[in-house]
Amino acid sequence: MTTVGQPLQRLEGPDKVTGAARYAAEYPVGDDLAYAWVVQSPVPRGALRNVVADPLLDPIAVLWHGNAPRLSDSDDPELALLQSGRISYRGQAVALVVARTLEAARRAAQEITLEIEEEPHDAVLRADHPGLYTPEKVNPFFPAETSDGDVDAALARAPVTVDVTYETPALHNNPMEPHATTALWSGDDLTLYDSNQHPAGVAATVGAVFGLDPSQVHVVTEHVGGGFGSKGIASPNAVLAAMAAKVTGRPVKLVLPRQAMFSMVGYRTPTIQRVRLGASADGVLTAVDHQAISQSSRLFEFAEQTAVVTRHMYTAPNRRTGHRLTRLDMPTPRWMRAPGEAPGMVGLECAMDELAVACGLDPIELRVRNEPAVDPESGLPLISRHYVECLRQGADRFGWAGRDPRPRQRREGDWWIGTGVAGATYPTMALPSTARVRDLGDSRYEVAIAAVDIGTGARTILTQIAADELGVPVEQVRIRIGDSTLPKASMAGGSTGSASWGWAVTGACRELRATGKLEVTYDSSESVSGQKAGKHAFGAHFAEVRVDAVTGEVRVSRLFGMYACGRILNPRTARSQFIGGMVMGMGMALFEEGVLDPAMGEWVNHDLAGYHVPAHADVESVDAAWLDVQDTEANPMGSKGIGEIGIVGSPAAILNAVWHATGVRIRDLPARLDKILPGL
Amino acid sequence: MKTFTYRTATEAAGGLEPGATFLAGGTNLVDLMKLGVATPDVLVDVTRLGLGEVTGLPEGGLRVGAGVRNSDLAAHPLVRRDFPVLSQALLAGASGQLRNMATTGGNLLQRTRCRYFMDPTTPCNKRRPGSGCPAREGDHRDLAILGARDDCVATHPSDMAVALAALGAVVNTSARAIPLAELYTDEAPDVDTVLDHGELITSVDVPPVNGRQAYRKVRDRASYAFAVASVAAALEVADGRVTDVRLALGAVAHKPWRALIAEETLRGRPATRESFLAAADAELAAAAPLRDNAFKVPLTRNLVASVLEDLA
C-alpha cells in the first residue's frame, strides 16, 4: 500500500504534545551551564566607546568589542559580532553578559552603561528618498529590472488604466520558539543545540567564523518551533553563545527575548509599490508596470524581490518591473515566508481588483482573460499551471456565483459584508541534497539526512516517501534528521524541503533496492540540475469579511484557498501548511505592522501584545482544498512546494473583500479600523 | 530581574517598608520586573489574606474582595445577574489564562501599556520623571484624547475598571474608602493613584444600578488586545425618556473616564440616537487628540450612540 498521500499524523506529535520533544534551549548540558543576555544598542547610529558593568552584579563575563575574541570574516556582516564599535541600527548586539542564572544575566545587562557617541540617523523609507538606487539583483538572484515592449506608450493609449500605490509595513517573524542556542566546547570541537532551518549551513557558517573545519562543528536541531525564513541562516545568537562558551569555559545558553526578535533576526522590509495597469475596455491587459521600493540596512544589501511575481502572473504585450532600494540606519531585512511574493501580490492582485472594477468585470473573469499561453517572462511553455482551474473550482466551492459586483450592498445588522478573490503563486524548486539509507535487516531501514522539521511535517513525509520506495510500512523506517553530521541537506526554505530531501531519499532508496547493497548514500546534485526552471505552483484565495459600520473593525468570516501544488504528499500536514500561511496572510492584511518611531529608529511595538498576529478568535472559518494534479517532471514525487503559497494572495483577497464590503479601498497595510472608519 | 525578597502578608493591614510592593496575581507586575520597569526590593504576597469573596450588600450591591480573580468575578452568579456590564468587561479583557490569575485589586492598579513606559531604554516621564515623553511625537495611536497632561498621554489599560467607573464603585483600602472616580490622579505623570505607599486595596463596593447595562470594546483583533476604545453604560428609559444613565469610556484617558457631562446632558432627554450623539459630543468637546489618535473621537462618539441605542 502507498503511504504517500495518506494523512499520517506527525511522527513527533506525541513528543511535542507531552513535552518530551527537546528544543534548542532544553538540553541538559551540565551543572556549570551559564546564561547569556544580549545588550542591544539603544541608538540607531553611532560609535560605542566603552562598556561599564555594575561591579556589584558580578556577572561571569561581559563581552564587547573591547575584549571579545576576534572572529574570522563571514559573508554575513551581521555575524561580525562585538568586533567593532560601529552601531548600524537600534537593537544591534553591542555587548553580551554571561551569568549563572537567566535573571542575573538580564539584570546585569539592564544595568550596563554604554558610552556611545550618537550620530544623526535616517530610519524612514519613502518614495522620494534620495538614497534610492537599483540593486544589481534582487533576492536571491533575479535581475532587478525587466522590460518588454513600450509600457508608457501602451498606458497612454489604454482605454482603461489603473495607477495605484500600495504600501506594506515592516513585518516581523515571530515563531513560537524564539531563536535560541546552547553552545558547548570540547577542546576545539563545538556543539550547538540551535534553532534553525539549516543545520549544515549553520555548522559551516559558525565554523568559518571561529576558524574551524566544518567537521569540528556539530549542530543539533531535533525540533524547531517555527522559522518562516528567519532561521534560514546562522543567527547572531549562535555565534554569541559559542563566543561566550569559549570565553567562560562553560556551556552557555542564549535565548533571544521576544523584543530582540524584532531587530536581530531579520524582518520583512516595508514596501512601496506603484502598480500601473493598462487594458482594453473588455479587460485584456495591454500594459503591466510594477515598481517596488524597499529598504535594507547599512550592513548588508538585502533586496526583496517584490515585483518578480508580476513577471509570471498575467500576459501583456508591454510589461515592466523594477526594484529600488535604500540603505537606512535600520536592522537588516531578511526572508519572511514568501519574500517577494507575499508583499508583491498585495500590489498586483489588489490592482487587478481595481482594474476589474474599472472594466466592470468580475475579478475572476478578468484574471481568466489575461491567462498567458506561455510564461510571460521566458516565453517557455506552461507546465502544470492550473491557475484558471484554481480560480474556477475555488469559486464553485467558495460560493462565488451570483456575487453582486457592486461594493457596499450587503448588510446584516451593523456589519457590512463582502467577498474578495486573489491569485497565488510560488516558484517550484528543488536543491541538491544527500541521503543515506541502511538496511538494518528484518525489512527494517534507517534513512538519514541533515534535513530539519521546522513544524512542517518534513520528518513524517520523508518517512512516507522512504517507506513507499522501500516497499515497507512506515513503522519499519527509522528517520534521522536534525543533525549537521548527517548527509548534507539543503535548507528548509523557499518551499523546497520536501522536494529536495525527498528527491535524495528516493534516489537512495531506489539505488539500495536496485543494487541490493546494505547501505547507499545518494547525492541528488546531478539529477536536480536537470530540473526544468521557471516552474510554479498556483492557487486562488477567497475571503468573506464583515466590517462593523460603527467601529470599522474587520473580521474574516471565511477564508478559503484552492491550490494546484502537484501531488500532495500528506494531506494532514499539507492542510496545516496551507491554512497556516493563509492565517499569516490575514495577519498581514489586517493586524501586523512594525510601528516605527522615526526619532528613535525603533519599532516600538516590539512584543506580542503590541505586534498583533491573528488570535484564535480571529480565525473563524479557514479551509484549503487542492486539485488532484501531479507534476511528474518536477521531481520523482510529483510534488510542488507548499510552505509559502498560503500567504501569497490571501492578504489581497481579504483587502479586496474589505473594499467589496464597504467601498473603502485600503492601500496601506494593515487595514486597521482607523483607516476604514472615515469611509464608512 | 533585580534580586528581591519575598514574603507572605499575614493581615490585610497597610504599611510597607520603602522599596516593598504588594504582589497579587502578578500578571502585570512580574512582566514589569522582567523588563526592568519595576524594581521592587521586596514582594509582599497578598493572595493568602482571604480577600477572595464576593458578597451581596444589604442595599443590593456587591462587595468584591480585592483578591477575587477576574475569571471568578466574571462568572459569579450575582455579577452576571445584576451587573452584566462588569461581567462583559472582564471577559473582554486579556486572555483566559490571564483572567484566571489577575485579581480585582491588581486589575485596578495595572500600569499603562504605553510602549515607551514598557521600554526602559526610552525616555518616559511616568517611569523616569523628567526624562521626557516620546509618545507625544512618536507612537500614540492608542493613547489619551481626554484629560491628558502635556508631559504624559498614557491610558489606563483596564476594561474592568471602565465598568466599575460607570457603576460608581467605591474602593475600600486598609485605610479608607475612595470613590473609584477619585482613585486615579493626574497630579504627576509618575503617580497613578492617590494610594499611599503600603495602602492596600481590600475590596470594591459596587452599588446597585438602574436600567439595562452593556460593555462594548473596540479592538484591533477579535481577542487578546487592549481596547482602542470602549464604553460601559447603564441606561434606564421610561416613556421614551432617559431617567437614569451611567456612562464611562475606556482607552481614552489616564483613568477610566466617567462621562459625567454626557450623563448630565442625557437625563430627561428623549432616548433617541440624536440625544445620544449630542451627549457624546458634549463629553468629547474637551477632547484634545494628537496626530494619530484623532480617530478615537468619532469612534467613541459612534460607540456611545450605538451602545445606548441598543440599551434604549
Per-domain boundaries in chain A: 34-120+176-226+231-265, 132-171+268-428+534-679, 430-530
Task: Check B221 against A615: CB less than 8 A apart.
Answer: yes
Chain B residues touching A678 at Cβ < 8 A: 295, 298
Mutating which of A110, A174, A263, A616 best tests the B interface, going by the most B Cβ atoms within 10 A? A110
Q: What interface predicted TM-score (ipTM) does this complex get? A: 0.97
Count the neighbouring beta carbons within 10 Å of the beta carbon of residue A185: 18
Closest CB from B3, B116, B295 relative to A674: B295
Q: How far is A14 from chain B (nearest CA, A)?
A: 24
Predicted confidence (pLDDT) at residue A428 exceeds the cutoff of 90:
yes
Q: Which three cell numbers stand for residue A461?
A: 513525509
Burial B139-176 (b: 16+ CB within 10 A, else e): bbbbbbbbbbeeebbbbbbbbbbbbbbbbbbbbbbbee
Check CB contact of B302 with chain A, cutoff 8 Å.
Answer: yes
pLDDT digits over A272-296, tens only?
999 999 999 999 999 999 999 999 9
What's the rounded mean pLDDT across residues A39-67?
Answer: 96
Residue B187 — pLDDT band, cuts 50, 70, 90?
Answer: very high
Helix axes B273-284, B296-311, angle to 10 degrees: 140
- Under an 8 A CB cutoff, do A612 and B225 touch? yes
B1 touches chain A (CB under 8 A): yes
User: What is the per-residue pLDDT across A155-192, written as a single tens digit (0 to 9) for each?
Assistant: 999 999 999 999 999 999 999 999 999 999 999 999 99
pLDDT of residue A562 exceeding 80: yes
Give the cell for residue A383: 507546465
Which one of A114, A673, A675, A680 makes the best mutation probe of the B interface by having the most chain B beta carbons within 10 Å? Answer: A673
| Cβ-defined contact of A610 to B115 (cutoff 8 Å) | yes
Task: Show the DSSP H helices in A233-309 as ranges.
Answer: 236-248
Contacts of B36 in chain A (CB under 8 A): 106-107, 110
Of the candidates B139, B220, B299, the beta carbon closest to that of A677 is on B299
B291 touches A at CB < 8 Å? no
| Beta-bridge mates of residue A142 | A138
- Write phi, then psi, for A414 (nearest 5 degrees): -85, 0
Q: Would residue B266 count as lying in a domain?
A: yes
> pLDDT tens for residues A67-125?
999 999 989 999 999 999 999 999 999 999 999 999 999 999 999 999 999 999 999 99
Round to whole Å and give the CA distance between A285 and A274: 17
What's the rounded Cα separation, in Å, for the pair A455 and A458? 8
Overall average pLDDT of the B260-266 stretch: 98
Average pLDDT, chain B: 97
Task: Check A591 against B224: CB less than 8 A apart.
Answer: no
Report the residue of A57, A262, A553 to disrupt the B interface, i.e. the one with the largest count of B CBs within 10 Å: A553
**Least CB–CB distance from B222: residue in A106, A552, A618:** A618
What pLDDT, on a 0 to 100 scale, did the predictor assign at position A632? 79
Residue B112 within any structural domain of the chain: no
Whether A139 contacts A304, CB under 8 Å: yes
- Decide if A605 and B134 are in contact by the 8 Å CB cutoff: no
* Cα end-to-end distance, chain A, whole Å: 57
Taking CB atoms and an 8 Å cutoff, what residues of chain B touch A616? 223
CATH, residue B293:
3.30.390.50
Beta strand B62-65 pairing with B257-258? unpaired
- Whole-angstrom distance, CA of residue B262 vs CA of residue B278: 8
Assign A634 a pLDDT band (cuts: 50, 70, 90).
Answer: confident
Backbone angles phi, psi at B82, to 5 degrees: -100, -20
CA distance B215 to chain A (A): 14
Give the nearest partner residue to B120 out of A110, A617, A673, using CB atoms.
Answer: A110
CA distance B130 to A333: 35
- Confidence band for A271, pLDDT divided at 50, 70 and 90: very high
Q: What is the DSSP letter of A507?
A: H
Task: Write b or e for each residue in A405-431: b if 16 or more Cβ atoms lie within 10 A of its Cβ, otherwise e.
Answer: eebbebeeeebbbbbbbbbbbbbbbbb
Residue contact A42–B121, C-beta within 8 A: yes
Dihedral through CA A63, CA A66, CA A69, CA A71, nearest 10? Answer: 110
Q: Residue B81's pLDDT is what?
A: 96
Q: Is residue B91 part of a domain?
A: no
Place of cell 523616569: B128
pLDDT of residue A270: 98
pLDDT number for residue B13 = 82
What letter represents residue A281's amino acid?
A
* Rounded distance between C-alpha atoms, residue A96 and residue A36, angstroms: 7
Residue A584 pLDDT? 98
Q: Which residues of B touch A103 (CB under 8 A)?
A: 1, 3
Identify the pLDDT of residue A51.
98
Task: Provide the domain count of chain B.
Answer: 1
Is a pLDDT exceeding 80 seen at residue A1?
Answer: no
Give the cell for residue A181. 542556542
DSSP label at A333? P
Among all residues of chain B, which has the CA nearest to that of A90? B121
Each residue's pLDDT tens digit, A372-424: 999 998 888 888 899 999 999 999 999 999 999 999 999 999 999 999 999 99
Nearest neighbour of B220 by CB, restricted to A599, A607, A672? A672
Hey, is A311 helix, strand or coil? helix
Do B263 and B280 meet the contact criterion of CB atoms below 8 Å apart?
A: no
Distance, in angstroms, between A591 CA and closest chain B CA? 7
Of the given ranges (A199-213, A418-432, A632-646, B88-102), which has the lowest mean pLDDT?
A632-646
Whether chain A has a CB inside 8 Å of the CB on B39: the answer is no
Q: What is the mean pLDDT of residues A137-163?
A: 97
For residue A302, count other CB atoms closer than 10 A to its CB: 20
The pLDDT, as a whole number, for residue B15 is 84
Structural contact between residues A259 and A251, judged by C-beta atoms closer than 8 angstroms? no
B219 at the A interface (CB within 8 A)?
A: yes
Q: Which residues contact B225 (CB under 8 A, 6 or more apart)?
A: A612, A615, B219
Q: Is B115 on the interface with A (CB under 8 A)?
A: yes
The enclosing H or E element of A461 equals helix A458-470
The answer, yes or no, to whether residue A56 has pLDDT greater than 90, is: no
Q: Is residue A199 within a helix (H) or strand (E), and if so which, with residue range?
A: helix A199-209
Averaged pLDDT for residues A346-374: 98
The reply to whether residue B34 touches residue A609, judged by beta carbons under 8 angstroms, is no
Interface with A, mutate which of B95, B273, B302, B307 (most A CBs under 10 A): B302
- How far is A550 from chain B, CA to nearest CA, in Å? 6
CA nearest to A91, candidates B119, B1, B13, B198: B119
A430-530, which class in CATH?
alpha beta
Between helices A341-359 and A571-590, what is the axis angle to 10°? 70
Neighbours of B26 (CB within 10 A): 17
User: Quick check: B115 and A107 CB within 8 A?
Assistant: no
Q: Provide the residue range defining the domain that includes B238.
A: 212-311
* Contact in structure between A81 and A254 (CB atoms under 8 Å): no
Residue A104 to chain B, least CA–CA distance (Å): 7
Give the SS3 label for residue A345: helix
Quote the strand ranges of A217-317, DSSP E. Answer: 217-220, 252-255, 271-279, 285-297
Contact A437, A447 (CB under 8 A): yes
Residue of A nearest to B136 (CA): A597
Does B226 sit within 8 Å of A604, measured CB to CB?
A: no
Angle between helix axes A497-515 and A458-470 (nearest 10 degrees) is 20
Nearest to B221 among A110, A259, A612 (CB): A612
Bridge pairing between strands A444-448 and A477-480: parallel
Tell whether B228 is within 8 A of chain A (Cβ): yes
**Do the chains contact at B3 and A612, CB–CB below 8 Å?**
no
Q: What is the crossing angle of helices A236-248 and A199-209, to 10°?
A: 50
B119 at interface of A, judged by CB pairs closer than 8 A: yes
Mean pLDDT, rounded, for A323-352: 98
Task: Give B165 to chain A, closest Cα distance, Å.
Answer: 22
Cβ proximity of A506 and A637 under 8 Å? yes
The Cα A669–Cα A344 span in angstroms is: 13
CB contact under 8 A, B295 and A677: yes
A78, A222, A304, A644: which is the annotated catalytic residue?
A: A644
**Known catalytic residue at A644:** yes
- Give dist(CA B34, CA B138) in Å, integer: 24
Pick the CATH number of A34-120+176-226+231-265 from 3.40.190.10, 3.40.50.300, 3.30.365.10, 3.60.10.10: 3.30.365.10
Place of cell 467577498: A419
A617 to B137: CB separation less than 8 angstroms, yes or no: no
Cα B6 to Cα A56, A217, B41, distances in angstroms: 21, 44, 9
The secondary element (H helix, E strand) that includes residue A529 is: helix A525-529
CB A603 within 8 A of CB A596: yes
B3, B97, B115, B296, best to mutate vs chain A, most A CBs in 10 Å: B115
Nearest chain B residue (CA) to A101:
B1
Q: Is residue B220 part of a domain?
A: yes
Place of cell 493598462: A278
Task: Say whether pLDDT at A533 is over 80.
Answer: no
- Say what the pLDDT of residue B30 is: 97
Q: Judge whether B17 lies within some domain.
A: no
The reply to whether residue A107 touches residue B3, judged by beta carbons under 8 angstroms, is yes
Distance from CA of A456 to the nearest CA of B (A): 26
How do A434-441 and A519-523 pair as beta strands? antiparallel
Identical topology for domains A132-171+268-428+534-679 and A430-530 = yes
The answer to whether B298 contacts chain A (CB < 8 Å) is: yes
Chain B residues near residue A590 by CB distance under 8 angstroms: 221
| Closest listed residue to residue A267, CA positions, set A238, A226, A240, A296 | A296
Contacting residues of B for A110, CB less than 8 Å apart: 36, 120
Say how many CA atoms lie within 13 Å of B37 toward its Cβ: 23
Q: Which of helix, strand or coil describes residue A595? A: coil
pLDDT digits over A580-613, tens only? 999 999 999 999 999 999 999 999 999 999 999 9
A132-171+268-428+534-679 CATH, one of 3.20.20.450, 3.20.20.70, 3.40.50.11810, 3.30.365.10: 3.30.365.10
Residue A336 has which C-alpha cell? 519572511
Rounded to 5 degrees, what are φ and ψ at A13?
Answer: -55, -50
| Inter-chain contacts counted by CB atoms under 8 A, chains A and B | 93
